[in-house]
């Protein structure tokens, strides 16, 4: 039941374009006791159909900026290749700590962005 709930929440977040891995990977590692590399691999497989569905919806709603797409696709592919080599060569526990740190930093940045946005609205 936990995996079904994690998958549902992750899918909703993925559909919004935020990235379901922020829910799915911690759920798999913390709640299910899976190692980080396996959780990331499952997340990548999971990402393909959810991203495809979200992409179709965003294209239909004219939310894709073509200039930005062309500027990030090639670097993104290169980064994915380099990142996969790094992930396979790094100890799973270190990778888990790095991912947790990344999520913490991103969470703090989003909180600060929200605070700044609220101040400009006042």
Query: CA 111 from chain center: how many Å?
Result: 17
- The 3 state secondary structure assigned to the chain is CHHHHHHHHHHHHHHCCCCCHHHHHHHHHHHCCCCHHHHHHHHHHHHHHHHHHHHHHHHHCCCCCHHHHHHHHHHHHHHHHHHHHHHHHCCHHHHHHHHHHHHHHHHHHHHHHHHHHHHHHC
CA angle 114, 115, 118 (to 5 degrees): 85
What's residue 79's pLDDT? 93
What's residue 17's pLDDT? 66
Residues of the chain with pLDDT under 70: 17
Two structure tokens written together for 30: 């913390």
């Amino acid at each position: 039941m936990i995996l079904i709930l994690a998958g549902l929440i992750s899918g909703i977040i993925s559909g919004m374009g935020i990235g379901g891995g922020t829910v799915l990977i911690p759920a798999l590692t913390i709640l299910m006791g899976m190692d980080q590399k396996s959780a990331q691999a499952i997340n990548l497989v999971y990402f393909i159909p959810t991203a495809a569905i979200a992409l179709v919806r965003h294209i239909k709603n004219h939310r894709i900026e073509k200039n930005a797409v062309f500027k990030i696709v090639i670097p993104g592919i290169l980064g994915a290749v380099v990142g996969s080599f790094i992930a396979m060569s790094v100890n799973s526990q270190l990778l888990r700590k790095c991912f947790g740190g990344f999520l913490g930093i991103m969470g703090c940045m989003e909180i600060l962005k929200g605070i700044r946005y609220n101040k400009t609205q006042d």
